Structure 1
Amino acid sequence: KLCVSSLTKQYRIKAIEDIRTEFINCAAIETYFAWERYKKDNKKAEDELKSGTIPHEFKRQMYYTFGDYRDIFFGTDISTHAHISDVSPNVITILEKENGTKSEGKQKSKNELLDDWWDEHGHEIWEGMLCALTYKDKTSGSGGEGKTTITQDESLKEALWDEASNKPKNHDYNSVTISSVGPSGEKTYLSKFAERPQF
Structure 2
Amino acid sequence: MASGLGKRQQVLIMIMLTIGCVYGYLRYVHDPTAARLVATVKKHNALVQEVEGLDGEPVNEAAIRESMRPLEKELAALKEEVDALTASRIAGAESRDQVVYVVNETALTNYVTIKELAPTTPDKLNLPPDEVQEFRRLDRAFYKVRCTGDFIDFYGFVSDLCRVERLVNLTGLSIVRSRDAEGQVEVEFVLVI
TM-score if structure 1 supplies the norm length?
0.18
Q: Which has the higher contact order (CA 8 A, sep 6+)?
A: 1
Structure with bigger helix share is: 2
Which of the pair has more CA radius of gyration? 2
Structure with bigger strand share is: 2
TM-score if structure 2 supplies the norm length?
0.19
